[in-house]
Structure 1
Amino acid sequence: MAGKTFPWTTALVPWADGPQYTRGVHDGLPLLSFGCAPRDKLATYRQLRAMGLRPNGCDPVAVLYGRHNRSGKTWFASLYLIANAAPVRPMTPAKWTALAKANLARRICCTCGKDPLYVVPTSTHQCWKCFEANENEQNGQAA
């Protein structure tokens, strides 16, 4: 590689008073390399969730990028201001009920209609007993 893909530049950024070093611009947002973003001011969506926060409808203020050494692929992640984040909305009883119904639907066997107390595979939609019976039936007919 002859030159750097993202050379260092200085730019005005929303999380600091003066210009800061960035790696240019990506999608109109300042680009920061991995390990250079201020952890006390910026966070990814997953980091906000781990803190019990959400972006609160605010757009990302920067983009974090890194390279995977083995594959050489470049990855990007949006960064949000922690100061603008709000607490995660609590689950309501209606949301808990809807979640329980959705999880129950994933556990019902399509052959026998029973709940085996585990999530059935999406490839067969059958519990283990019905799957084994179906396999034995197919092997018996083929012989």
Structure 2
Amino acid sequence: MEQQQGAVLVVEDSPMFRRMVSDLLQSMGFSRVQEAGSGQAALEFLAEHRPVLVCLDLTLPDISGYEVCEFIRSTPVLQDIPVLMISARTQTMDRAQAEEAGVSGYLIKPFTPEEFRHQLERVLAARPRKEA
């Protein structure tokens, strides 16, 4: 896969899982992967940077992934960033709430690298292309 431009933000409170997602992204050509272990850390990063993609855990120790996604969608400079929600929650209600918050895709843990790649490609293909 060709080199991807821009940073990706991985928001996940499990260091092991965060590392795994970062490694998968790097293997797909994303060289700049930023990690946040909490919703607050994610919001602080987003206040200063505009990543090309956010991989967001639903269950965080402080504020939920829903709230982080709602922040992204309500911030004009961030609102069109693709957000891939990653969660161990399989309930239809959780997915519906995530979609309401504005996620671009929903991936259930555990997943295979192939499932991750497929969801990521789908989410990135769906984003509106900005003409310079």
TM-score category of the 2 structures, normalised to the smaller one? under 0.3
Max Rg structure: 1
Task: Point out the structure with the larger helix share.
Answer: 2
* Greater RCO, 1 or 2 (C-alpha within 8 Å, sep 6+): 2
Q: Provide the TM-score with structure 2 as the length reference.
A: 0.23
